[in-house]
Amino acid sequence: MISQTIAEQFAERIKAGPNLNHASKEWQAAIKARLKWLQKANDHQITPKGDWWNIWLLLAGRGAGKTRCAAEWAWWEAWTKPKTRWLVSAPTSGDVRDVCFEGDSGLINVIPPEIVEAYNKSQHEITLKNGSILKGIAASEPDRFRGPQFHGGWLDELAAWDYLDEARDMIQFGMRLGSQPRLICTTTPKPKPLIVDLTNRDGEDVIYTSASTYDNIKNLAPSFQKQIMQYEGTKLGRQEIYAEIIDPEESGIIKRAWFKLWPNDKPLPRFQYVVQSYDCATSDKTKNDPTACTVWGVFKPSDDKPMSVMLIDCWEEYMQYPDLRPKVVEEADAIYGDENEWGHGKKVDMIVIEDKSAGISLLQDLQRAGLPVRSYNPGNADKMMRLNIVSPIIQRGRIYIPESMTNPGMARDWAEPLITQLCSFPEVRHDDLVDSTTQALRIMRDIGLISIDPVYDANDSYDEDRPKRVNPYAI
């Protein structure tokens, strides 16, 4: 194993220097512990060489030794760099304590006790005898990262953080001590945008290491080995055992192939009805979701085809309410469609806004202004249920997307974010375009602009066995 070679080289460097017997008992304990670890570590647990990287991203399956690897790296960095500060973060405060600090492979159990000055359990803080500090902060409270500054740190189970982007941003601002702050990020992967971004930066400022559960199988209980076999060949197994980042569109309920492209060289049709749909942000702060707008044109592709819908505009933007109202008023005056022999432009017939948060005030203001607004109330339906309700409309090829002018066979650039959100839901950072879409399609279906229900003969006798229609949004 390469780890054995590294251990031998490390030992040779010690022999070439001052006699280990002349070193302090603390250093003797630290070196012995380090050598012991290097001799047993797997290849993926060895610190990468070179001084060019700032982030070590270790994506590994369950039981692959992520925690032990990071704990060994963190304490050695803190010990060999006296009077430094190191961050240790995990999804929750309990994870920081029970996994990173006190777990079987946590810091308390891998750091030689001879070099520990104090452990403050309540503060999640280890002080080493060289003056270095390992400080635990839960990722569930991103604002706690404001103020503290560090020389580096360990971020555990990054993909499981509830406020991943917010916490990550605050941590980066705190990595400002020393000549080269470094982070080790350990996690079982999920298709979070930040995780994907870090893997794409491999070779730049990130070094990416991947390992499966089987790479550490010798250290796992036989019963665990048997249990994981049932997940072989499944998407969950690919993620949790082999540390594969699953494309979120693989698991989405909406499939990209369901959308139809309107040819770029074909004039836009005559729209019979135009609907604008707004999903308003709950706050104007950037850490919250943006306001999203989608615009839909109802048309009939041909005499032998049913009524369909075309996406004719969409956007997302962070904005305060005073800026939102005039933008909505301006958008309401827009003309959608082409003036040609096939059709003509059309103004908005309906503006749909969910009656919650900022949407309530916006509804009231627009009603007073005489605009054609309609409130939307999803009732008890959660986001997943709302999407499932309208998914048959998309599945049956009733949604058209304008084709790109430069990339044949692809949607236009401005439409791509909507398609990505729909196909990747719920594994998306923001789902505002999803909400805007579901409420628009739901409203259009409810008022009869589009329909996917079978047509019953009006002369048919009443059938008790016929499925009865219910309102899934009813409270």
Digits of tens for pLDDT over the chain (475 positions)?
444 455 555 655 554 444 555 568 999 999 999 999 999 999 999 999 999 999 999 999 999 999 999 999 999 999 999 999 999 999 999 999 999 999 999 999 999 999 999 999 999 999 999 999 999 999 998 999 998 999 999 999 999 998 898 999 999 999 999 999 999 999 999 888 889 899 999 999 999 999 999 999 999 888 888 888 888 888 788 888 988 887 777 778 899 999 999 999 888 888 999 999 999 876 544 446 789 999 999 999 888 889 999 999 999 998 877 888 899 999 888 888 766 555 567 889 999 998 877 778 888 888 888 899 999 888 888 889 999 999 999 999 999 999 998 888 889 999 999 999 999 888 777 789 999 999 999 999 999 998 875 444 444 444 445 445 445 444 4
Q: Residue 353 and residue 284: Cα distance in Å, rounded? A: 17
Token pair in block for residue 246: 């699953």
d(CA 39, CA 35): 6
Q: With a threshold of 0.95, does the pTM exceed it?
A: no
Contacts of residue 49, defined as CB under 8 A and 6 or more positions apart, other chains included, come to none
Note whether 262 and 290 are within 8 A (CB).
no
- Give the chain's domains with CATH numbers: 41-246 (3.40.50.300), 256-446 (3.30.420.280)
Write the DSSP assignment of 279-330 as a string of letters: E--S-SSTTSPPEEEEEEEEE-SSTTS--EEEEEEEEEE---HHHHHHHHHH
Token pair 């398609």 in the structure block, residue: 419
Integer Cα distance of 444 and 451 in angstroms: 9
Apex 144 CA angle, 286 and 53, nearest 5: 80
244 within 8 A of 235, measured Cβ to Cβ:
no
* Rounded distance between C-alpha atoms, residue 245 and residue 158, angstroms: 13
> Residue 155 forms beta bridges with which residues?
89, 185
Q: What φ, ψ does residue 298 adopt, rounded to 5°?
A: -90, 130
Q: Which two tokens stand for residue 181?
A: 């702050």
Residue 160 has which token pair?
A: 């499981």
What pLDDT sits at residue 360?
84
Contact 166/136 with Cβ under 8 angstroms?
no
